């Protein structure tokens, strides 16, 4: 079994470990079969030794620290070197401090930009978001025929976006390390309109792209794509953060040959948009079909 050991500062203030605990929960959930443990700088040596005595094949150490200072330059490597000598058969990998991760700067910039946006659009509870009367989004129906559209992410949300993009005639590229098998089925039906790239996003994926849909489960990747696209003046839809993108996708229904009805909550309550869509589909279908028939007779 592989193991991850996260090293954090010791702190006794209530609530200090909120973000840290969320990361542990997510690692437990997202990396089943990996032993996830945490320790403090003081307990590192004892805890790491205990872990190495368990049935682990490798240990990855993450210093939950921002700056590459005394702890990450000297204290932690010293313990790692000592224990690697004691347990030479178990590889120990020491990751860089968080501040040196390449996605970190994008995440910080994005967080600050969102905070500035939030100053303009205070978003408290859903109820208060919904009761705000003003809408400053502009509705259009966009022609994407022949345009290059990039979808970053290959999961459930990306799949939904691609399904709605196919009928537009756009050239769709999907890039993600994990691509849902259903994409292959879609590609088999539409070989010329879908390209699948099974690897992590790279900034060059944005070359000649008209519009990008950001749909990964990695906030740091989403922030990087958003920043890269903005620098290239590419239109952005961020499925994970409606305040970040240039546009949102409403729920769309087609009735008969000519009628399209879209429902939007301006990003504020997407699940309400879905509910309304279901209501409209069940309650309006017959009436709309009749209206279209009558219109054709006129
Ligand atoms: C309309 C539809 C079109 C489409 O996705 O193409 C759409 N969401 C749909 C479904 C859906 N969305 C969610 C669930 C699970 C909950 C549930 O099941 O109840 C389901 C249901 C499911 O997945 O089945 C939750 C959700 N949605 C967003 C977030 C992130 C966030 O808010 O940060 C979260 C998580 C937080 C939360 O729960 O709030 C974000 C967005 N979702 C949008 C559109 C945009 C805003 C549109 C608007 O407000 O008008 C925006 C901003 C992104 C964008 O522009 O794409 C599609 C209808 C499908 C259909 O056609 O039937
Ligand atoms: N718009 C919506 O309606 C809506 C609804 C629910 C959730 N969301 C948001 O959408 C996100 C994605 O949801 P999902 O259900 O599709 O998740 P998922 O776990 O099914 O898919 C995540 C995808 O991101 C990809 N990914 C990870 N790192 C990547 C990288 N470096 N480059 C490219 N791709 C990378 C993965 O390979 C995977 O294909 C959620 O995290 C959530 O924030 C949006």
Verify whether ligand 1 is closer than 6 Å to residue 164 (CB atom). Answer: yes
In whole angstroms, give the CA distance from residue 149 to residue 191. 15
Residue 143 belongs to some domain of the structure: no
Is residue 162 assigned to a domain?
A: yes
The helix/strand/coil state of 131 is helix
Burial zone of 222 (CB within 10 Å; 0-12 exposed, 13-18 middle, 19+ buried)? buried
User: In the prediction, which pLDDT does 118 show?
Assistant: 67
Average pLDDT, the chain: 89
267 and 201 belong to one structural domain: no
Q: Domain range spanning residue 171?
A: 148-244
* pLDDT tens-digit series, residues 213-228: 999 999 999 999 998 9
Ligand 2, CB cutoff 6 Å, lining residues: 152-158, 175-178, 200-201, 215-218, 221, 239-240, 270
Kindly report the protein residue whose alpha carbon is nearest to atom 16 of ligand 1. 271
CA 201–ligand 2 middle distance (angstroms)? 12
**Which residues have C-beta within 8 Å of that of residue 242, sequence separation ≥ 6?**
248, 266, 267, 268, 270
- The pLDDT tens digits for 148-189 are 999 999 999 999 999 999 999 999 999 999 999 999 999 999
C-alpha dihedral sign at 179, 180, 185, 190: negative
In a domain, 192, yes or no: yes
Q: Could you tell me the CATH number of the domain that includes residue 66?
A: 3.40.50.1400
11 and 41 assigned to the same domain: yes
CATH number (domain holding residue 183): 3.40.50.720
DSSP-based three-state secondary structure for 288:
helix
Name, in order, each residue with C-beta under 8 angstroms of 271's C-beta and a sequence gap of 6 or more.
Answer: none
pLDDT 10s digits, 10-20: 777 777 788 88
Give the global pTM.
0.68
Q: Whose CA is nearest to atom 42 of ligand 2?
A: 240
Residues 96 and 24 both lie in one domain: yes
Whether 164 and 189 share a structural domain: yes
User: Is the Cβ atom of 242 under 6 angstroms away from ligand 1?
Assistant: yes
Give the strand pairing for 2-8 and 194-197: unpaired
Residue 137 lies in a domain: no
257 in a structural domain: yes
Residue 265 lies in a domain: yes
Question: Per the domain annotation, does 116 fall within a domain?
Answer: no
Give the pLDDT confidence of 60-107 residue by residue, as tens digits.
999 999 999 999 999 999 999 999 999 999 999 999 999 998 778 878
> CA 225 to CA 165: how far, in whole Å?
19
Are residues 41 and 95 both part of a single domain?
yes
Q: Which atom of ligand 1 is nearest to the CA of 274?
A: 58
Kindly tell me if the per-residue pLDDT of 295 is higher than 90: no
Distance of CA 201 to the CA centre of its chain: 12
The total number of structural domains that make up the chain: 3
237 lines ligand 1 (CB under 6 A): yes
Q: Which of 207, 226, 244 is the last residue of a domain?
A: 244
Assess if residue 34 is contained within a domain: yes
220 and 263, same domain (yes or no) = no
Q: Do 19 and 98 have their domain in common?
A: yes
């Amino acid at each position: 079994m592989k193991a991850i050991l996260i090293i954090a500062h010791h702190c006794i203030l209530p609530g200090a470990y909120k973000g840290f605990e969320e990361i542990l929960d997510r690692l437990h959930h997202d990396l089943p079969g990996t032993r996830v443990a945490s320790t403090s700088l003081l307990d590192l040596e004892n805890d790491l030794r205990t872990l190495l005595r368990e049935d682990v094949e490798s240990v990855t150490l993450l210093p939950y620290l921002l700056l590459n200072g005394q702890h990450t330059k000297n204290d932690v490597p010293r313990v790692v070197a000592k224990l690697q000598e004691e347990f030479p058969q178990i590889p120990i990998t020491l990751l860089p401090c968080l501040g040196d991760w390449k996605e970190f700067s994008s995440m910080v910039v994005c967080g600050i930009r969102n905070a500035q946006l939030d100053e303009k659009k205070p978003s408290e509870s859903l109820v208060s978001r919904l009761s705000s009367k003003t809408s400053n989004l502009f509705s259009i129906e966009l022609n994407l025929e022949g345009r290059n559209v990039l979808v970053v992410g290959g999961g459930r949300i990306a799949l939904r976006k691609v399904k709605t993009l196919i009928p537009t005639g756009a050239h769709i590229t999907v890039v993600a390390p994990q691509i849902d098998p259903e994409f292959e089925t879609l590609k088999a039906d539409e070989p010329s309109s879908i390209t699948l790239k099974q690897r992590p996003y790279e900034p060059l994926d944005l070359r000649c792209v008209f519009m990008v849909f950001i749909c990964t489960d990695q906030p740091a990747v989403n922030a990087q794509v958003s920043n890269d696209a903005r620098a290239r003046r590419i239109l952005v839809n961020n499925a994970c953060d409606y305040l970040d993108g240039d546009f949102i996708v409403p729920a769309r229904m087609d009735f008969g040959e000519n009628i399209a009805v879209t429902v939007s909550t301006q990003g504020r309550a997407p699940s309400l948009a879905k509910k309304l869509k279901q209501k409209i589909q069940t309650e309006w279908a017959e009436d709309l079909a009749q209206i279209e028939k009558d219109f054709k007779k006129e």
